[in-house]
């Protein structure tokens, strides 16, 4: 089984209910059993309601505007994780700690966008409609997660995009902290040399199963686009990495689905 830990919905595309079973079946035939759908609330829960056996819901919010009670409401509605992106301060800044404390208490997972963010995506008027906001990608360096973990050692964390371009920092975070995982999703990691990745997870040909075992399969591609299956290039990329690093079948399964299932298990009900 393979779960895509980083998926988005196609903007503006709403398939007819009758076409959804066929689309999901085709995704599964091509190798994706479920997706962790990262989306704003309305679209997220519409997709989850229509495909509950395919969609694992993660709500994307504005870290600089959301309140802890709003986090509670989203988790109570069914979100199994909260996605943060484009902060105006370092992820490790104290002002965000009440959000992490609430997510931790609720047993949900934090998905952090780490590293580079494409020009124009959240800049100026594009960033949640705030004209005064400009992105500083150093606020999303993998090293900023270290302070978060020291404050909340039980908080479940998935670092998206392996901290591009701060690859080594991400490796250090996942290899050091027991509840920190990372994916190789996005448009850069799969373009890098397999030699670089194999040396990171199997230096000098010796497999480092502990650090490799903190990876999650992820693509950052858009789903629910009729006839498009962009995740396939990532299946090929991960497969080449598995072969190059000589990862055994059980480790491949851990990366393909096991870690995702561990991160996004429905949390036990707790008081807000």
pLDDT in tens, 203-229: 999 999 999 999 999 999 999 988 889
Per-residue model confidence (pLDDT) at position 126? 47
User: What confidence category does residue 59 fall into, taking pLDDT thresholds of 50, 70 and 90?
Assistant: very high
Per-residue model confidence (pLDDT) at position 11? 55
pTM of structure: 0.93
- Number of Cβ within 10 Å of residue 63's Cβ equals 24
Given a cut of 60, whether residue 18 has pLDDT beyond it is yes
Given a cut of 60, whether residue 132 has pLDDT beyond it is no
Given a cut of 60, whether residue 13 has pLDDT beyond it is no
Which tens digits make up the pLDDT trace of 153-185?
Answer: 999 999 999 999 999 999 999 999 999 999 999
User: What confidence category does residue 72 fall into, taking pLDDT thresholds of 50, 70 and 90?
Assistant: very high
Do 219 and 231 meet the contact criterion of CB atoms below 8 Å apart? Answer: yes
Give the fold, CATH level 3, of 3-263.
Answer: TIM Barrel (3.20.20)
Per-residue model confidence (pLDDT) at position 118? 84
Q: Which two tokens stand for residue 134?
A: 């400009």
Where do the structural domains in the chain lie, given as residue ranges? 3-263
């Amino acid at each position: 089984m393979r779960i895509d830990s980083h998926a988005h919905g196609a903007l503006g595309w709403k398939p007819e209910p009758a076409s959804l079973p066929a689309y999901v079946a085709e995704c599964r035939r091509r190798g994706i059993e479920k997706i962790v759908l990262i989306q704003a609330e309305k679209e997220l829960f519409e997709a989850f309601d229509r495909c509950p056996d395919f969609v694992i819901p993660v709500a994307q919010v504005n870290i600089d505007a959301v309140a802890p009670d709003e986090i509670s409401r989203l988790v109570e509605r069914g979100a199994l994780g909260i996605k943060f992106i484009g902060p105006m301060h370092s992820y490790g800044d104290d002002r965000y700690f009440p959000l992490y404390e609430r997510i931790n208490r609720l047993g949900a997972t934090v998905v952090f966008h780490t590293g580079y963010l494409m020009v124009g995506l959240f800049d100026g008027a594009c960033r949640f409609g705030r004209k005064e906001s400009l992105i500083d990608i150093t606020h999303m360096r993998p090293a900023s997660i270290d302070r978060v973990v020291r404050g909340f050692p039980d908080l479940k964390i998935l670092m998206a995009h392996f901290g591009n371009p701060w690859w080594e920092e991400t490796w250090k975070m996942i290899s050091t902290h027991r509840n920190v995982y990372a994916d190789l999703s996005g448009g850069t990691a799969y373009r890098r040399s397999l030699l670089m990745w194999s040396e990171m997870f199997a230096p000098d040909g010796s497999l480092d199963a502990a650090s490799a075992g903190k990876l999650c399969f992820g693509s950052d591609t858009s789903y629910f686009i009729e006839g498009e299956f962009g995740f396939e290039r990532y299946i090929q990329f991960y497969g080449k990495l598995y072969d190059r690093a000589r990862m055994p079948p059980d480790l491949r399964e851990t990366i393909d689905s096991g870690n995702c299932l561990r991160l996004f298990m429905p949390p036990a009900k707790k008081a807000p």
